[in-house]
Amino acid sequence: MTAKLIEQKKDKGVSLHIFSVLALVAGLGLAGCADVDSMLFGDSGAAPDNSQASTESPLPPTTVSSLPAPSTSSSGNTIAPVATITPVSIDPGSDTGTAVSKTVANLRTQVSALQTSLAQNAQRLADLRNGGADAASAYHEAKARITTHLQVGTTRGNPELVAQWNQAQSSLDQLTSNINGLNVLGTAVGNDASTAHYALDQISATFNVSGAVDEDHRQLSVLENETNQTIVLIDKLLTEVSQDVQRQTAYVANERANLTTLASAIKNGELYGADLGGAQIASSSAGGNAFAYSGTPLVVIRFDHPDVDYQQILYAALTQALQNRPGAAFAVVAVSPTRGSAAAVQLAQTAAHRHAQDVMRTMTDMGVPATRLGVASATDPSATSSEVRVFVR
């Protein structure tokens, strides 16, 4: 691979080389841990499910109220209105005394019930949007407090930041519950759409039933038009629900990844930056566990003294590589010297392998998906201490 040297620096035993490379890939799931303690120390916990469906008093069977205008959530956020629905006035018709007239009356009742359900589902969507706006606002407030505190400097594993991280995680859990509520709502609206189309088919079939008078067919024509209008309104609402599900799912997935990076920053008391497993690498697929490395390494970390501080330099190198060419994976190579006795060489290999595992763990904390990482070991006669070399592949 041909590479152009952009920057070179040394810091506490870390040699850094940043190159233009072919880039990095992966996908991030929605799963989150119950709190920051689970993220940092491995405890397991289940996120609460707070999904709720609001109910609304039935509207009169002959009308459908307009869907909600722009509303304001409890946190003061203005919420986008649900698509406007013009009330549909149902012609009450009259009983002509025929069997067809009784069928028309039953069909009219079905269409009226669909309109009532439509208004209730529209209100449910407005309520879910309000709840989502409140949760998103609380999440970003907690996240902003954490990043501000990290920016000015703090201690490792600061309990105050841990508590704020837990608040942010809880707000994301509420957004996940909101998505569950939207999925349930989408199913309900989809069922109404199926019912409306079935009612329209029944109306069309009733035109062919014998024994009807002219007034029966006039009422059927009016009801057919009203049913078509209802179908249009249901389809409009279903589209809005589907768009909300897609938008919020992508948002929560991205913020879960950002929280993972933030948890690592709290653990180290140092702010890194944006998550490295974000949008630029989310569309690529895994290519298997096999990997190759060659050329000049992206980063060389020399562990020639205790507590080598390499996190910021590693983060900067990974960020630059991804900005240049999003789409590659990384090879983490544990390099050990060959000098000394056989026992000394063995100890050096063990230490290099342990350091490589630590570097990989740091990279995943920064947001690089584990499927995009590979580890290997090598020896170098010129090495004077254990090293970890990170290659872009």
Q: What is the pLDDT of residue 163?
A: 92
Please report whether residue 48 resides in a domain.
no
Task: Give the tokens for residue 229.
Answer: 């209008």
Q: What is the pLDDT of residue 90?
A: 66
Residues 120 and 260 reside in one and the same domain:
yes
If 0-12 CB within 10 Å is exposed, 13-18 middle and 19+ buried, where does residue 214 land?
exposed
Domain of 13? 5-27+277-392
Residues 254 and 330 reside in one and the same domain:
no
Q: What is the pLDDT of residue 229?
A: 87
Residues 313 and 285 reside in one and the same domain:
yes
Query: Per-residue pLDDT tens for 259-276?
Result: 887 888 888 887 765 555
Please report whether residue 166 resides in a domain.
yes
Residues 223 and 206 reside in one and the same domain:
yes
Please report whether residue 56 resides in a domain.
no
Residues 95 and 232 reside in one and the same domain:
yes
Query: Per-residue pLDDT tens for 346-392?
Result: 788 888 888 888 888 888 777 777 778 888 888 888 888 899 999 98
Residues 153 and 199 reside in one and the same domain:
yes
Residues 293 and 247 reside in one and the same domain:
no
Question: In the chain, how many domains are there?
Answer: 2
Q: What is the pLDDT of residue 389?
A: 92
71 pLDDT more than 70: no
Q: What is the pLDDT of residue 141?
A: 92
Give the residue from 268, 285, 319 where a domain finishes.
268
Q: What is the pLDDT of residue 95?
A: 80
Query: Per-residue pLDDT tens for 176-202?
Result: 899 899 999 988 988 988 998 998 998
| CA pair distance 388, 141, nearest whole angstrom | 38
Q: What is the pLDDT of residue 32?
A: 43
Residues 159 and 248 reside in one and the same domain:
yes
**One-letter-per-residue 3-state SS of 2-29:** CCCEEEEEEECCEEEEEECCCCCCCCCC
pTM above 0.75, yes or no: no
Residues 245 and 324 reside in one and the same domain:
no
Whether residue 216 contacts residue 106, with contact meaning beta carbons closer than 8 Å, is answered with no
Query: Per-residue pLDDT tens for 121-137?
Result: 988 998 999 999 999 99
- Read off the pLDDT of each residue in 281-295 and give the average, rounded to a whole number: 44
Please report whether residue 252 resides in a domain.
yes
- Between β-strands 330-336 and 373-379, what pairing exists: parallel, antiparallel or unpaired? parallel
Whether residue 18 contacts residue 390, with contact meaning beta carbons closer than 8 Å, is answered with no
Please report whether residue 238 resides in a domain.
yes
Q: How far is CA 163 from the centre of its chain?
A: 22
Please report whether residue 344 resides in a domain.
yes
**Lookup result for tokens 């050990």:** 336
Please report whether residue 199 resides in a domain.
yes
Query: Per-residue pLDDT tens for 137-150?
Result: 999 999 899 888 88
Q: What is the pLDDT of residue 251?
A: 86
| CA pair distance 101, 91, nearest whole angstrom | 14
316: domain CATH number is 3.30.1330
Residues 340 and 296 reside in one and the same domain:
yes
Give the residue from 219, 251, 268 where a domain finishes.
268
Residues 216 and 254 reside in one and the same domain:
yes
